[in-house]
Amino acid sequence: MTLGEIAKELGLEPLTGEMNFNKEIKSGYVSDLLSDVIANIEQDSIWVTIQRHINILGVAKLKDVVAIIIPHNLTVDEDVVKKAKEEGIAILRDKRTAFEVAGLLYNILKKGH
């Protein structure tokens, strides 16, 4: 399933526009601990986190993460969004909790494969 299909189905707000919407998503991961993400996230994944500082982009770039979903309608600084665009990492936002987003994402990916 592509990021665009997932974003549409979940009604996610794309903070970086339609960046990476054509990329296939293989998996998802939920964690707010950067070292945990580095150790465990798979390439071509979506990462759900409440972290919104610039370091999330370094982790995402290192691990070839396609997109980051920010739950709770949390605000993301414009400098982080700008840097994400430069680095080719999509940032999307949702009003639901990380738990809800993860469950929905799991179900979408499970039926899409």
pTM of the entire predicted model = 0.95
Domains, in order of start, for the chain: 3-112 (3.40.1390.20)
Q: Which pLDDT belongs to residue 111?
A: 85
Neighbouring residues of 33: CB distance < 8 A, sequence distance ≥ 6:
none
Report the C-alpha gap between 64 and 48 in whole angstroms: 14
pLDDT, one tens digit for every residue, the chain (113 residues)? 999 999 999 999 999 999 999 999 999 999 999 999 999 999 999 999 999 999 999 999 999 999 999 999 999 999 999 999 999 999 999 999 999 999 999 999 998 65
Report the C-alpha gap between 17 and 57 in whole angstroms: 16
